[in-house]
Amino acid sequence: EILNGDASSIGKSSLGDYITEADAKKLLGRSTGWFHKMRKTGLLPSSKVGGKQYYRKQDIQKLFDSVFSGTLKNKTFQNAKS
């Protein structure tokens, strides 16, 4: 699982089942634009609290699992890179 690795890369602003976009970017090596596209296309639900985007860790895991299992077309995922 992608979120069970080195927890030292996750900041204190991530809470329980949620991770901030800033921490997710560090963990996954993706840009702000990539996360925006994932939200806009409905592939990654989020919540905005106090000006910060939060993602459920399980939603991030599901997105990556669907890409690597072939459920989600890799081309769709790749085109959403920034």
* CA separation, residue 37 to residues 8, 32, 74 (Å): 27, 9, 15
User: What is the spatial distance between Cα 55 and Cα 21, in angstroms, rounded to a whole number?
Assistant: 7
Contact 6, 46 (CB under 8 A): no
Would you write out the chain's pLDDT as a tens digit for each of its 82 residues? 555 555 555 555 557 889 999 998 888 888 999 999 999 999 999 999 999 999 999 998 888 787 777 666 655 555 554 4
